[in-house]
Amino acid sequence: MEDYREKSFWLSQMDLEWEAELEGTVNCDVAIIGGGYTGISTAHFLKKMDPSMDVVVLERDLVGYGASGRNAGFSMKLFGFSMAMTKMRFGADNAMQAHHYMTEAVHLVQEMVDEYDIDCDYEHTGFFRLATSEAYERRIKKEIEFARSMGVDDIEWKSADEVAEEVRSPNFRGGAWEPDSAILNPAKLIRGMKEVVEEQGVTIYEGTPVEEIDKGDRVRLTTPKGEVLADRVVLATNAYTHLMPVLRTKQAPAFTHIILTEPLGEEHFEKIGWKRRQGLEDARNMIHYFRLTADNRLLLGGSDVKIPFGNNMDLDRDGEVFERLEEDLQFLFPQLADLKVEHRWGGPVSVTLDMAPALGEVEGGRLLYSVGCTGHGVSLTHLNGKTLAELVLEKETERTEMFFVNRWVPPWPPEPLRFAATQAVRGALRFQDRLTDA
């Protein structure tokens, strides 16, 4: 168990006490493996829908240790890679179904923050996808036209002058504006929801990795010092799901990295504007995502992804990517050349082969899972938790009938083919970015 404070700026600001490790034998109705957004949200909605249910969460490290405590904190509507790709893969009706699901997801996060008064620096600021070259300008305008043709009317093009009234950079040529999006402190959100589910009666064990899953009359989860016997088990492991034999091929982890500056002063805001603090992203394949924190630090992430070989999950820190991000920061905001970078971190996100989320049941419904948030999981995972809870309770709702529930997921090939395939795709995307960056 590494020091959680080293995993992100968000976690470094928190003084957390660990829950006890599981010892002995525990019986429950539902066991959830994974103490991130998906697992905690599933536990929350299970108890909300059926307060009598006995729910246990097993977390290998500490609640929020994974992507839920390390991500950039965008609550947004993006499902998978893009709406056009969703239509190409699943059809027009399903692409709109996905859009409505993500709209519900963004609103759900806001409702949960309000209902439980979670102190997570939530700001419903809206979101810009910005063009930094002529090619990206064409790409974004084409995406807007496509969205409009599908009936989506809450996205519009803003010219370079209009963008400059909000946030100034000599390299912003305009962008797509989406008002229904938010930024927040991701670690505060997951730790706040941890308190909510514990008040509901959910039992959480930290420092408790699951070493084996046996499927007899009941599902037995073996841990270093004990075991859990459950009627049903939710695998809320996302980027770590390939470590579970029953789901090994459904997803692969991809590591993304972030740098964070010292706080901006008033003199910096005079140069760049950004008074309304919108979330920002560019249109590259290997996107840059950037935002302000509550104490006015500038967060910049992306630029590349790193793909591990096999079961290696130790790619949190990458000096090459951190150096490139600092160079990218100077390109995006040359006015801020004097800003010092004070924090650097990274972590894995879950990616399916077809770049779209998937959740459902295996082993006759005794095991349930959710994978493939593709780096856009803050809102998606919370609504997926509600959907998983409905599946556990065998409720039929519009969510459980979504096309991506119990869908066929193209399997990732075994190593070394998986690594070779991901490197080839990564290389092609990076090459296209080099062609269209200028």
Domains in the chain with CATH codes: 4-70+187-251+354-407 (3.50.50.60), 127-179+252-351+425-438 (3.30.9.10)
Please write down the HEC assignment for all residues of the chain: CCCHHHCCHHHHCCCCCCCCCCCEEEEEEEEEECCCHHHHHHHHHHHHHCCCCCEEEECCCCCCCCHHHCCCCEECCCCCCCHHHHHHHHCHHHHHHHHHHHHHHHHHHHHHHHHCCCCCCCECCCEEEECCCHHHHHHHHHHHHHHHHCCCCCCEEEEHHHHHCCECCCCCCEEEEECCCEECCHHHHHHHHHHHHHHHCCEEECCCCCCEEEECCCEEEEECCEEEEEEEEEECCHHHHHHCHHHCCCCEEEEEEEEEEEECCHHHHHHHECCCCCEEEECCCCCEEEEECCCCEEEEEECCCECCCCCCCCCCCCHHHHHHHHHHHHHHCHHHCCCCEEEEEEEEEEECCCCCCEEEEEHHHCEEEEECCCCCHHHHHHHHHHHHHHHHCCCCCCCCCCCCECCCCCCCCCCCHHHHHHHHHHHHHHHHHHHHCC
Mean pLDDT over the full length of the chain:
94
| pLDDT at residue 66, as a whole number | 93
pTM higher than 0.75: yes
Structure tokens at 83: 């709406």
Whether 157 has a pLDDT exceeding 60, the answer reads: yes
Instruction: For residue 402, give the nearest of 356, 364, 349 by alpha carbon.
Output: 356
Of the pLDDT bands very low, low, confident and very high (cuts 50, 70, 90), residue 438 is low
pLDDT digit string (tens) for 233-285?
999 999 999 999 889 999 999 999 999 999 999 999 999 999 999 999 999 88
Cα angle 246, 251, 255; round to 5: 130
| pLDDT at residue 91, as a whole number | 94
| pLDDT at residue 345, as a whole number | 97
* Residue recorded with tokens 């308190």: 195
Instruction: For residue 94, give the nearest of 407, 428, 329 by alpha carbon.
Output: 407
pLDDT digit string (tens) for 87-136?
999 999 999 999 999 999 999 999 999 999 999 999 999 999 999 999 99
Q: How many CB atoms lie within 10 A of CB 348?
A: 24
CA dist 314 and 299 (Å) reads: 22
CA dist 386 and 405 (Å) reads: 13
Integer CA distances (angstroms), 44 to 28, 182, 202, in order: 15, 22, 8
> Could you tell me if 26 and 229 are in contact, meaning their C-beta atoms sit under 8 angstroms apart?
yes
Q: For the chain, how big is the Rg over CA atoms in Å?
A: 21
> Could you tell me if 234 and 31 are in contact, meaning their C-beta atoms sit under 8 angstroms apart?
yes
Integer CA distances (angstroms), 266 to 37, 184, 294, 336, in order: 35, 22, 14, 12
Whether 1 has a pLDDT exceeding 60, the answer reads: no
Say what percent of the chain tops pLDDT 70.
99
The amino acid that residue 272 corresponds to is I
Say what percent of the chain tops pLDDT 90.
86
Structure tokens at 283: 């249109």
pLDDT digit string (tens) for 160-190?
999 999 999 999 999 999 999 999 999 999 9
Q: How many CB atoms lie within 10 A of CB 43?
A: 32
pLDDT digit string (tens) for 354-409?
889 999 999 888 999 999 988 889 999 999 999 999 999 999 999 999 999 999 99
